[in-house]
């Protein structure tokens, strides 16, 4: 990954750039990039500003709306102490972590099995994993709701923990298959000659070499579960088991009066954890995203 990215950079900087004059670069590169960044980041800026604005500033058309005169933490305080927001956060964390961990374990085994053990029919299993990746939740939620009901899991966290792997496992398996493919067969053969079992090979040789892949898959799976909406909306009805995205949309919107300040605070606090996690693992996240698409 890093070498991949570094190579074009080096060549690029010494490449044909000297042929392009500075004013031309400003107009064709910097201005459009600036415009893209402003548009892409504005909603986040707006979330932050709205969170910090007292109500009378929010609902006035005078003054400069792009800035906040008297910043306040009232909305955040209201959110944390007068609503069940901490519970929702905890639910989201719990469900995302457990679903991600389960999917990772299942995917590591499945990917190793498909890519390395090459049992009879492994190619077809690999293909069907990819096809499973293409099945959108919007066509599954109705029958899944019926199944969840039959299993008596309606309105429990377990319902989400069990259904999230349906989109996490195909993604993680597909990504890890790519990583396992890049590990030389010779390493495994050496270990086999030395008398290692397949399980030992997987744990002591393949997994340590696939750590970047595991991090990519884990980060990606975690954000996917954190962002999931339609299953959480359909399978959960009590406030205390809701996840953040659903709870903010269904619980914080009361009647006709919108409390924009606390709504935005809810949206902001719900976005921050994934944004922070993402900022620490950008490279892994990007390689997960592009790795899954490139195949």
Partner 1 sequence: MATKQSALARALDNRHLLGALFLLPAAALLLVFLTYPLGLGTWLGFTDTKIGRPGEWIGLENFVFLWGDDVTRLALFNTIFYTTVASVIKFGLGLWLALLLNKHLPFKAFFRAIVLLPFIVPTALSAIAFWWIYDSQFSIISWALVRLGVIHTYIDFLGEPWHARFSTIAANIWRGVPFVAITLLAGLQTISPSYYEAASLDGASDWQQFRYVTLPLLTPIIAVVMTFSVLFTFTDFQLIYVLTRGGPLNATHLMATLSFQRAIPGGALGEGAAIATAMVPFLIAAIMVSYFGLQRRAWQQGGADA
> Between 129 and 241, whose beta carbon lies closer to partner 1?
129
CB of 108 to partner 1, least distance (A): 9
The answer to whether residue 165 forms part of the interface with partner 1 (CB under 8 A) is yes
**By CB under 8 A, which span of 67-75, 81-89, 131-139, 177-185 interacts with partner 1?**
131-139
Give the count of residues interacting with partner 1 (CB under 8 A).
101
Q: What is the dihedral of CA 159, 161, 167, 172, to 10 degrees?
A: -160
Show the CA angle centred on residue 192, arms to residues 186 and 194, nearest 5°: 105
Long-range contact pairs involving 41-48 (C-beta distance under 8 Å, separation at least 24):
44/271, 46/264, 47/264, 47/267, 47/268, 47/271, 48/268
96 part of the interface to partner 1, by CB under 8 A: no
Q: Quick count: other Cβ atoms within 10 Å of Cβ 174? A: 23
> Cβ(108)–Cβ(214) under 8 Å?
yes
Are 245 and 270 spatial neighbours (Cβ–Cβ below 8 Å)?
yes
Site residues for partner 1, window 211-270 (CB under 8 A)? 223, 226-227, 229-230, 233-234, 244-246, 248-249, 260, 263-264, 266-268, 270
Q: By CB under 8 A, name the one of 38, 43, 71, 190 that touches partner 1.
A: 43
Of 1-9, 74-82, 178-186, 206-214, the window that binds partner 1 (rule: CB under 8 A) is 1-9
Nearer to partner 1, 23 or 294 (CB): 294
Residue 58 within binding range of partner 1, rule CB under 8 A: yes
Interface residue with partner 1 among 147, 187, 203, 211 (CB under 8 A) is 147
CA 76 to chain centre: 24
Q: How far is CA 253 from CA 58, 74, 281, in A?
A: 17, 17, 33
Q: Is 50 in the site for partner 1 (CB under 8 A)?
A: yes
């Amino acid at each position: 990954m890093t070498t991949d990215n570094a190579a074009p950079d080096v060549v690029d900087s010494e490449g044909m750039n000297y042929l392009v004059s500075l004013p031309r670069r400003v107009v064709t590169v910097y201005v459009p990039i600036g415009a893209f960044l402003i548009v892409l980041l504005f909603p986040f800026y707006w979330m932050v500003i709205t969170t910090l604005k007292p109500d009378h500033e929010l609902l006035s058309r005078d003054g400069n709306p792009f800035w906040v005169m008297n910043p306040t933490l009232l909305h955040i305080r209201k959110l944390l102490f007068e609503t069940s927001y901490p519970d929702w956060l905890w639910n989201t964390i719990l469900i995302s972590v457990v679903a991600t961990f389960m999917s990772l374990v299942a995917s590591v085994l499945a990917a190793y099995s498909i890519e390395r053990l090459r049992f009879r029919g492994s190619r077809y299993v690999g293909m069907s994993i990819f096809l499973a990746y293409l099945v959108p939740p919007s066509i599954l939620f109705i029958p899944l709701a019926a199944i969840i009901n039959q299993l008596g899991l309606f309105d429990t966290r377990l319902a989400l923990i069990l259904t999230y792997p349906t989109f996490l496992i195909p993604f993680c398996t597909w990504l890890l298959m790519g990583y396992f493919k890049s590990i030389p067969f010779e390493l495994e053969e050496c270990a086999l000659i030395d008398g290692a079992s397949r399980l030992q090979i997987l744990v002591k040789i393949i997994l340590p070499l696939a750590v970047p892949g595991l991090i990519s898959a884990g980060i990606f799976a975690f954000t996917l579960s954190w962002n999931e909406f339609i299953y959480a909306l359909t399978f959960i009805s009590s406030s205390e088991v809701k996840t953040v995205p659903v709870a903010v949309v269904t619980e914080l919107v009361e009647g006709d009066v919108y409390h924009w300040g606390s709504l935005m605070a809810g949206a902001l606090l719900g976005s921050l954890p994934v944004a922070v996690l993402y900022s620490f693992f950008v490279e892994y996240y990007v390689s997960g995203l592009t790795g899954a698409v490139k195949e």
